[in-house]
């Protein structure tokens, strides 16, 4: 996962984005919980911010998880704020300075799903219930 993808929309604007999927310990210590993290990063004005988010948000979230006893929505919120802070602190060329990224991330841990989004990124969750005997 994590390859760059380019999609053209009807307005002929090019949107550059990344996707990510990580599974394993959600903290940085051996006693953390196991979970799955999924991220979709939609770049605007260039791919730099979306690529930065893909390369850093999961690491920031894992570090944040190691500082708390229990997962909460605040961990994702704080991780996104830290990501934004770190992106704006780095030296960037002019095109990277104009780049931004909307993102939608989800963390599934201990039977719960935590979802966060920035900008106009949205997620819709659904469940398909099939009658018994149907595959």
Residue 105 sits in a domain whose CATH number is 3.60.40.10
Asked whether residue 38 is domain-assigned, the answer is yes
Q: How many domains does the chain have?
A: 1
Averaged over 85-99, what is the pLDDT? 79
Structure tokens, 114: 């935590």
Rg, C-alpha atoms of the chain: 17
pLDDT tens sequence across 112-126: 888 888 887 777 777
Range of the domain at 24: 4-117
Q: What is the pLDDT of residue 83?
A: 93
3-state secondary structure of 81: helix
Q: Residue 4 pLDDT more than 50?
A: no
Q: Residue 95 pLDDT more than 60?
A: yes
Asked whether residue 135 is domain-assigned, the answer is no
Four-residue CA torsion sign, 76, 78, 82, 84: positive
Higher pLDDT, 62 or 27: 62
Asked whether residue 22 is domain-assigned, the answer is yes
3-state secondary structure of 22: strand
User: In the chain, at which residue ranges do the beta strands (DSSP E only) sit?
Assistant: 4-8, 14-25, 34-44, 100-109, 112-117
Q: Residue 72 pLDDT more than 60?
A: yes
Asked whether residue 130 is domain-assigned, the answer is no
Q: Residue 27 pLDDT more than 80?
A: no
Strand-strand pairing, 112-117 and 34-44: unpaired
3-state secondary structure of 112: strand
Higher pLDDT, 26 or 77: 77
């Amino acid at each position: 996962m994590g390859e760059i993808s380019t999609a053209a929309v009807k307005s002929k604007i090019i949107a550059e984005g990344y996707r990510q999927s990580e599974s394993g310990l959600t903290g940085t210590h051996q006693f953390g919980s196991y979970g799955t993290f999924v991220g979709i990063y939609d770049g605007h004005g260039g791919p730099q911010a979306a690529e930065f988010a893909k390369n850093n948000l999961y690491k920031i979230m894992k570090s944040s998880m190691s500082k708390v006893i229990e997962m909460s929505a605040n961990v994702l919120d704080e991780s996104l704020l830290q990501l934004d802070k770190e992106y704006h602190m780095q030296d960037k060329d002019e095109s990277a300075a104009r780049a931004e990224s909307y993102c939608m991330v989800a963390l599934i841990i201990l039977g719960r799903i935590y979802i966060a989004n920035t900008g106009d990124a949205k997620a819709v969750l659904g469940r398909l219930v099939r009658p018994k005997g149907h595959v």
